[in-house]
Amino acid sequence: MPFLPTSSYRPNALLANGHLQTIAASTLRRVPEVCYQRERLELPDGDFVDLDWALAGSEPAQRLGIISHGLEGDSGRPYVRGMARALNQAGFDALAWNYRGCGGETNRLLRAYHLGDTEDLAEVIRYAIESHRYTELSLTGFSAGGNVTLKYLGENATRVPGQVKRAAVFSVPTDLKASSVHISRWQNQIYLRRFMNSLRDKMRVKGAHLPGQLDLSELNQLRDFPQFDERYTAPLHGFASADEYYEQSASGRYLGGIRIPTLLVNALNDPFLPASCFPRAAAEASQFFYLETPAGGGHVGFNEDGPSGTYYSERRAVDFFTRAMPG
């Protein structure tokens, strides 16, 4: 019964609520110690993703942590760099991969990435194992990257390589439809506008890159995720509608299929997450899926001892990956 009724996380006393915990982590934090080595991975369909490696030593280690970033994020975000630093300090190499179009250069194809796309993560895992011969992989992801990670682990456990031992994900919208509505509340408009501006900018860049292949005439009128996903995400990635995209891509429906120890940490004061994103029943029914719900943390926050120190998400992930029995 891997529902964890208590959490040791205590937010920084100066960050009194979920909004402050969310904003401080994304705007004030700096992690200068991480130096990436970039590599381009060519994908089977002719597109590419960029991989940023942070090695624990001069030679590759036996253990690797793969980090999946959030919506419209990249490997340079403080929460990704912080996790890479924590993994290195624990003796893991770290691989922070950038989704299609997120590495600083638009991708080649009309399609991009979406929250249910597990094929690219599978390809990154395959490449890491075959090219560097890691014997132990741990997966971690934040928000959208956590959704992709959970879906990957649960949708077809037989395809997960034996080298993938554990996973820990944070601030995950396991119910995509409910989350897409929840973030449209007036309290969340500051976040929604930022996401929508980024998504619209990327569509303009892609339209210039692939002239005549995208209808951008209504782009400026799209004000929320359901509108954007109905107009672009769903049709560009083979879904009949935004609702079908949300239904098939939401990780919540795949949690019962997970067969390695996997931890989800969602803060109860996360401004992005509705009640349906705290899947306690799935944890109680599983031998492998652990759910931890600290009272604080915000969305991809979890600050403990100052903006640039170690965050609870990093400490918790490393602990989960290295303990003899997770929990």
How far is the CA of 192 from the CAs of 87, 123, 145, 197, in angstroms? Answer: 31, 30, 18, 8
CB 71 within 8 A of CB 144: yes
Residues 80-122: pLDDT tens digits? Answer: 999 999 999 999 999 999 999 999 999 999 999 999 999 999 9
Active-site residue (options: 26, 68, 138, 143): 143
pLDDT tops 70 at residue 53? yes
Six-digit token string for 100? 């299609």
Sequence-distant (≥ 6) Cβ neighbours of residue 113 within 8 angstroms: 99, 100, 101, 102, 120
Residues 228-263: pLDDT tens digits? Answer: 999 999 999 999 999 999 999 999 999 999 999 999
Output the pLDDT for position 109: 97
Output the pLDDT for position 11: 87
Query: What class, spelled out in words, does domain 3-174+252-322 have in CATH?
Result: alpha beta
Active-site residue (options: 74, 93, 175, 270): 270
Residues 253-300: pLDDT tens digits? Answer: 999 999 999 999 999 999 999 999 999 999 999 999 999 999 999 999
Instruction: Tell me the average pLDDT across 313-327.
Output: 87
CA 127-128-131 angle, 5° bins: 75
Q: pLDDT band at 194, cuts 50/70/90?
A: very high
Residues 135-154: pLDDT tens digits? Answer: 999 999 999 999 999 999 99
Active-site residue (options: 74, 117, 299, 313): 299
Residue linked to tokens 């690219």: 120
Catalytic (active site) residue 270: yes
Sequence-distant (≥ 6) Cβ neighbours of residue 83 within 8 angstroms: 65, 67, 94, 96, 140, 313, 314, 317
Catalytic (active site) residue 69: no
Output the pLDDT for position 49: 98
Catalytic (active site) residue 143: yes
Residues 162-187: pLDDT tens digits? Answer: 999 999 999 999 999 999 999 999 99
Six-digit token string for 296? 């604080």
Question: What is the Cα–Cα distance from 121 to 99, expressed in whole angstroms?
Answer: 9
